[in-house]
A and B are shown apart, each in its own frame.
Chain A
Amino acid sequence: MSYIEIRNIFKIFGPNPQAALELAKSGSDKEEILAKTGHTVGLDDVSLSIEQGETFVIMGLSGSGKSTLIRHLNRLIDPTAGEISFGGENILAMDIPTLNAFRRKRLGMVFQRFGLLPHRNVMDNVAYGLEIQGTDRKTREDIARKWIERVGLAGYENKFPDQLSGGMQQRVGLARALATDPEVLLMDEAFSALDPLIRSDMQEELMKLQAELHKTIVFITHDLDEALRIGDRIAILKDGKLVQVGRPEEIILNPADDYVQAFTRDVNRGKVLRAKSIMEPTTGTISGDQADTSQVVRPDTVLDDILPMALASDQAIRVLDRNDKLIGTIKRQQVITALSHSPAN
């Protein structure tokens, strides 16, 4: 069983959700239920398994239910039906004090519009989670200072949120979520409100932190490029329904339906697809004359870096794993085919 298990979650918004729930369970879609009962279907039979230590991205357009879904993980919203468990523990059965203890110790959340406390300075914002836990002032300020430094805001401890730029505010948000050392980091469109350059910086920062911390991250976004960049796995939601779950390459190479395909059309494949997903697997060892390093790539090398090699030589490019063991080959034609689905590239 996975670390986070979400099973058959339904969320219906409205005064009498049970009637609409029956309709949803019998397969009626969102528009039909809205027309018949006046209830809005937020989530329609969503099941997901999220592994410990992975960065799991939930992607969808506005109204797809992605923000509703992430709020089920810390029960800011309760489902109409379904089950959610963390490490085998059913969080829907928790009473309020247990739930609060669970939120304090095991979860951190980062918000789209930052959700910082405007009446507290950076230090007190970052220390907020620890303060809620009842940590004494000295300890929590020491920990908060460490995280403020870590996200690059040393020297800003006494500034207030309205004195900081958007990117800096979100760094505070990130430091605040990490200060309690949670197992799971929930990020609700955390970088969507930021300028493109800052957003890219923050994505990098997050990946750097994750490489060290190995948190379980559930990341919500409406931006496929962002999803492909940071996600180990991606789930795509549409109208409250799960359309596809898979690794970034799987989503691009095998879109589940037209909806996903439409999304992936504009993706820069050269930056997403990697050697291991397009190679032809082979087994064997490298003989002497093949030990030429110029035509060798690693499984994680992206297509953009493989293309020049493929163009430079007619020979097949060899893919070697970490122990320099041959695991596959790539021909020029394969590179071109993989890239060719993307227009104007």
Chain B
Amino acid sequence: MFPEQLNVPLGKWVNQFVDWLVINYGAAFEAFADSLLTVLVALEQVLRGAPWWLVLIAIAAITWHASRNWKLVLGLVVAMFVIGTLGLWDKAMQTLALMIVATSLSVIIGVPVGIAMAMSNRLRAIMLPILDTMQTMPSFVYLIPALMLFGLGKVPAILATVIYAAPPVIRLTDLGIRLVDPEVLEASRSFGASRKQILFGVQLPLALPNIMAGINQTTMMSISMVVIASMIGARGLGEQVLMGIQRLDVGAGMEAGIAIVLLAVVFDRIGQAYGKRSQRTSSGEDA
């Protein structure tokens, strides 16, 4: 037996810290939660309010813009249509809204963090274990304090999704910038480019294919998080899966599962198409 005198009451300290946060900063967290919720609710209303065919047209237009490939457009429209035929259209739109907000937040946070990591080896050394933790820590562990800070519902679901889904875009932004040919950077510096000119004119454009791959992965991971998010009150397809498990309704669970997979396929293909586009350096727009 490990001697009990050596026990560190880490759990107690964490509890005290969370209590202290709730007491002192509860209002600030609530304000943050409210603004996030406002965005989410507005987006959800638009998606659920829009006629189904309009959403299909929008998906088709985005796919065409990304890929210029009518076969892909047709395939993705059919996938979305199947979700509708499973009777899960409304729930899919809720999931979609949650996913868009969580992914956007991940990218807004992740890209600057990735840039900072690429610039500083010290920050990178600090961030890498944090990112590993974010990806391996069971999500329920941070869901509980998130619930205490934000209450039950969509906001902790978004935050849990961001914690789980942001690491790939952070890692790949860092990697993409580090992989930029050092001679190209030297050339840019030798012409007297400032750090800002180098970042926006050289590093980010050349890292873009990697950043796009990161965004794609982040999107995939945020879709996979929807089931867990439903357990703390986020609505959508995950809720349906959860219900299927609770009622031992294998069929309902399967339907929702298929819908989640189809949604993932749609977003993966769109993301990949944009990724490929950002890689084209030569044959460009006029091809």
Residues from chain B with a CB closer than 8 A to the CB of A161 are 281
Judged by a CB distance under 8 angstroms, whether B2 is at the interface is: no
- Known A113-B183, A119-B281, A162-B282; judge A132-B190 contact (CB<8 A): no
A133 to B282 Cα, complex, angstroms: 26
Hey, which chain B residues are within 8 Å of A109, CB to CB?
Answer: 187, 190-191
Query: Considering the chains assembled together, what is the distance between the CA atoms of A118 and B281 in angstroms?
Result: 7
Residues of chain A at interface, number, CB under 8 A: 36
Q: Is A129 an interface residue (CB 8 A)?
A: yes
- In the complex, the answer to whether A100 meets B187 with C-beta atoms within 8 Å is no
Expressed in whole angstroms, the minimum distance between the Cβ of A114 and any Cβ of chain B is 8
Determine whether the beta carbon of B192 is less than 8 Å from that of A119: no
List CB contacts (< 8 Å) of A189-203 with chain B: none
Q: Which of A71, A104, A112, A159 contacts B191 (CB 8 A)?
A: A104
The answer to whether A118 and B191 have CB atoms under 8 Å apart is no
Residues A186 and B184 in contact, CB atoms below 8 Å apart: no
Instruction: Determine whether B152 belongs to the interface, using a CB cutoff of 8 Å to chain A.
Output: no
B282 and A186 contact, CB distance less than 8 A: no
Known interface pairs A115-B183, A118-B281, A162-B281; A74-B206 also in contact (CB < 8 Å): no
Within 8 A of B (CB), among A76-118: 76, 97, 99-105, 107-109, 111-118
A76 contacts B189, C-beta separation under 8 Å = yes
How far apart sit A109 and B197, CA to CA, in the bound complex (Å)? 18
B26 at the interface (CB under 8 A from A): no
List residues 102-136 of chain B with CB under 8 A from any CB of chain A: none
B182-205 to A contact mask, C-beta < 8 Å, 1/0:
011011111111100100001001
A119-B205, A119-B281, A163-B282 in contact; A76/B186 too (CB < 8 A)? yes
- Confirm or deny: B284 has a beta carbon within 8 angstroms of a beta carbon on chain A: yes
| Bound Cα distance A196, B114 (Å) | 43
Residue of B nearest to A97 (CB): B194
Contact assessment for B191 and A128 in the assembled complex, using a CB-CB cutoff below 8 Å: yes
Q: Output the least CB separation between A143 and chain B (Å).
A: 14
Chain B residue nearest to A130 (CB atoms) is B191
Tell me the interface secondary structure of chain B in the complex. Answer: helix
Do B193 and A100 have beta carbons less than 8 Å apart? yes
Neighbour of B184 across the interface among A76, A99, A115, CB < 8 A: A115
| B281/A103 in contact, CB under 8 A | no
| Interface residue A180 (Cβ < 8 Å from any Cβ of B) | yes
Please name all residues of chain A whose beta carbon is closer than 8 Å to the beta carbon of B184 when the two chains form the complex.
115-118
Q: How far is the CB of B47 from chain A (nearest CB, A)?
A: 35
Nearest-Cβ distance from residue A7 to partner chain B, whole angstroms: 22
* CB <8 Å contact, B191 and A111: no
**Contacts A115-B184, A118-B184, A132-B197: A160 and B282 contacting too (C-beta < 8 A)?**
yes
What chain A residues lie within 8 Å of B286 (beta carbons)? 158
- Tell me whether A76 and B282 are in contact (CB under 8 A): no
Beta-carbon contact of A103 and B192 below 8 Å = yes
- For A282-322 the 0/1 string (1 means CB < 8 A from B) is 00000000000000000000000000000000000000000
Determine whether the beta carbon of A132 is less than 8 Å from that of B193: yes
Establish whether residues A111 and B187, one from each chain, have CB atoms under 8 Å apart when the complex forms: yes
Q: Which residues of B contact A132 (CB under 8 A)?
A: 191-193, 197
Assembled-state Cα–Cα distance A100/B194 (Å): 7
Known A118-B184, A162-B281; judge A107-B202 contact (CB<8 A): no
Q: List 24 A-B contacts (CB under 8 A).
A: A71-B186, A76-B186, A100-B193, A103-B189, A103-B190, A104-B191, A109-B190, A109-B191, A111-B187, A114-B183, A115-B183, A116-B184, A116-B187, A118-B206, A119-B205, A119-B281, A121-B284, A128-B191, A129-B191, A132-B191, A132-B192, A159-B282, A160-B284, A186-B190
B residues adjacent to A (C-beta < 8 A)? 181, 183-184, 186-194, 197, 202, 205-206, 281-282, 284, 286
Interface residues of A (CB under 8 A from B): 71, 74, 76, 97, 99-105, 107-109, 111-119, 121, 128-129, 132-133, 158-163, 180, 186
